[in-house]
Each structure stands twice: as C-alpha cells, then as structure tokens.
Amino acid sequence: MAEVGLAIGCGRGVYQGIEREWLYWYDQAGERYLTPEERAAEAQQQVLQEAAARRQSYCVHAFGSKESSLMPELGGLEVQSIN
C-alpha cells in the first residue's frame, strides 16, 4: 500500500493479554504503529516521568535538594490509570 504510505508486517507481541505473532501496520519509515494499549502505557509512563520531574523541581526550589524528609507525602503519591 505504498500509495497511502502504509505497510503490513508481522511481529511477536502482546495484544489484549494474548502473546503471539500479530500483523501490525507500519509507516513509510518502517516504524510500527502502536496498539491502543501501547499508546496508553506510553502516555502513562510520560505522565509519571513528568510528575517525578515536577516533584524534583519543587524540592530543589523549596528545599535546595532533590529530596526532602520534610515532604514525605510527595514520596507516597501514586498515579492511577483512568480506563
């Protein structure tokens, strides 16, 4: 399907909890398009990294260090996924 810039290829992966060989869509550069679950996991990982960076920045600005025993409540923050 070169006229639309797509290709189909196979690869081993997990989709909806099932591990096996799957057909995947690929772009013109040969990069596989992520499944909806992979995109969600990637987005959640980005949110966690951004939260950690904000926490670190806050601690540096507020306390002069990356971590502070004065803020134990921030260390226990959890990010829950929204489904």
* C-alpha to C-alpha distance for 83 and 69, rounded to whole angstroms: 34
Give, for all 83 residues of the chain, the pLDDT tens digit: 778 889 999 999 888 889 999 999 999 999 999 988 899 999 999 999 999 998 888 888 777 766 545 555 555 555 565 65
Token pair 């006229």 is found at 3
Q: Give me the pLDDT at residue 2, please.
A: 72
- pTM of the model as a whole: 0.59
Sequence ranges of the domains in the chain: 1-33, 34-83
Helix, strand, or coil here: 77? coil
Dihedral sign from CA coordinates of 43, 4, 27, 1: positive
Residue 39 CB neighbour total at 10 angstroms: 11
